[in-house]
C-alpha cells in the first residue's frame, strides 16, 4: 500500500496537474477513456440505484436524495432553497419531488421559523422509516455496484482526484 499525501492522494498518484497544449485540443486516448469512463460509470450507477430503490421501496433516487438531505439535517428540517442548492436541482424540480413526498406522507412543508418568506421540508415519522429502509437498499447497491469493486488504494486515489478537481464540495452522507 502506498503512502498518502496530505490531500489523501497516494504519493505515486499525486503530482502536478497536466498542462499540455491548448485547452481546446482534442482528447487523447487516455483523456477520452477517463471522460467516457466517468460518464458511463455515473449513468450506470444512477440507473441501477434508481431502479433498485423504486423496486424495493417505490422511492426514486431523486426522492431518496431529498429524504437523505432532510434526514441528516439537524432536527430533520431543511430550507427548501438549501435542499435545491445542495442537490444541484432547480427549485421547481425540488417542488415536484417534495409534492410527491408530501402526498406519500414522508415530509411536510412548514414555514421557516427564522424567515417567514421561506419553507422548510420536515421529515415525518413515516419518512424516517422509509428513509431507513431505502438507505439500506441504496448502500447495498452502491457498495455492490461500485465501492466493493475498488481496492483501498483506488478509493483513496479517487477521493484525492475528486478533491483535486473540486467535485467533492457537494458531498453529503449516505
Comparison of pLDDT for 107 and 8, the residue scoring more: 107
In a domain, 174, yes or no: no
Counted domains in the chain: 1
Contact 72, 172 (CB under 8 A): yes
Q: pTM of the full predicted structure?
A: 0.80
Where do runs of H (alpha helix) occur along 4-151?
29-57, 61-71, 80-87, 91-103, 125-145
Contacts of 126 (CB under 8 A, 6+ apart): 104, 105, 106
Among 17-31, 41-55, 104-118, 136-150, name the one with the lowest average pLDDT: 17-31
What share of the chain in percent tops pLDDT 70? 83
List pLDDT tens digits, range 52-63. 999 999 999 999
Q: Sorting pLDDT into bands at 50, 70 and 90, what band is 166?
A: confident
Q: How far apart are CA 149 and CA 119, in angstroms?
A: 41
Print the domain residue range for 134: 40-165
In a domain, 137, yes or no: yes
In a domain, 120, yes or no: yes
In a domain, 14, yes or no: no
In a domain, 8, yes or no: no
| Predicted local confidence at residue 167, as pLDDT | 58
Q: Sorting pLDDT into bands at 50, 70 and 90, what band is 1?
A: very low
CATH of the domain at 151: 1.10.10.10
In a domain, 12, yes or no: no
| Predicted local confidence at residue 2, as pLDDT | 47
In a domain, 108, yes or no: yes
Amino acid at each position: 500500500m502506498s503512502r498518502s499525501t496530505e490531500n489523501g492522494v497516494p504519493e505515486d498518484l499525486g503530482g502536478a496537474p497536466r498542462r499540455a497544449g491548448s485547452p481546446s485540443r482534442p482528447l487523447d486516448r487516455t483523456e477520452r477513456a477517463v471522460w467516457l469512463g466517468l460518464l458511463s460509470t455515473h449513468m450506470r450507477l444512477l440507473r441501477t440505484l434508481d431502479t433498485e430503490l423504486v423496486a424495493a421501496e417505490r422511492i426514486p433516487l431523486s426522492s431518496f436524495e431529498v429524504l437523505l438531505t432532510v434526514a441528516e439535517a439537524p432536527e430533520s428540517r431543511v430550507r427548501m432553497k438549501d435542499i435545491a442548492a445542495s442537490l444541484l436541482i432547480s427549485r421547481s424540480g425540488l417542488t415536484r419531488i417534495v409534492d410527491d413526498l408530501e402526498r406519500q406522507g414522508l415530509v411536510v412543508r412548514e414555514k421557516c421559523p427564522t424567515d417567514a418568506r421561506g419553507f422548510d421540508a420536515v421529515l415525518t415519522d413515516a419518512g424516517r422509516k422509509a428513509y431507513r429502509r431505502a438507505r439500506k437498499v441504496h448502500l447495498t447497491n452502491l457498495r455492490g455496484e461500485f465501492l466493493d469493486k475498488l481496492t483501498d488504494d483506488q478509493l483513496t486515489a479517487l477521493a484525492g482526484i475528486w478533491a483535486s478537481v473540486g467535485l467533492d464540495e457537494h458531498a453529503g452522507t449516505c
